Amino acid sequence: MLASRWLKAAGVAAAITLATATAAHAVPAPDTAAESTAAAVTLRYDDSRAVGWEAAISAGVASWNANVDNVKLVEAAPGTRAEIQIVATSGWPQATLGPVRPGGQARVELGSQAVTEGHDKTRIAAHELGHSLGLPDTKPGPCSQLMSGSSAGTTCTNAVPNAAERSRVQSAYAGGLASRTPADGRILVDAP
């Protein structure tokens, strides 16, 4: 028993000595801060079950990709896994509240009931993708807030996140990694 404690203590001392000696002669690591902020998290989406929404989804994805740098949305190749499943439904739009992580799973339902009531398809798609990226609703809110959703009225066609919304998504995916806070998995229904 004493011998095993002595060996363990000697091993720890040797490791500390080696680490100290190595650190004294180490070459400074390159500055990777710029690299880590430039590394975007790639999230794949599958819209194969969102027939009739293709143009709105493309425009919503383009809006997010043009306005945030830390995360990029790309269409998944057929037969490959996608973190964001987008489907067309007959109800109200709804989505899983993220931020979804690579390898994770979120669902976006693009409901035709909102379109029937006069809401803009592209705004709906961009808004629901915002939920997957970690943004909750900000209802009631003005048209300038993408996440105000249906509370901005049927005349609102803004599909661009405002500065606060962009900043929140940038923070959630800072450093090339998704936030350590897990997605809570709640489904947010965007009915008025």
Catalytic residues: 128
Q: Is 50 exposed, middle or buried (0-12, 13-18, 19+ CB in 10 A)?
A: buried
Amino acid at 173: Y
SS3 90: coil
70, 38 Cβ separation under 8 angstroms? no
C-alpha torsion 59→65→66→69, nearest 10? 170
Amino acid at 94: Q
What is the distance in angstroms between the CA of the first residue and the CA of the last residue of the chain? 70
Q: What residues are paired with 110 via a beta bridge?
A: 88
Structure tokens at 19: 């680490």
Count Cβ atoms below 10 Å from residue 174 Cβ, excluding itself. 15
- Residue 91: CA atoms inside 13 Å, Cβ hemisphere, count? 10
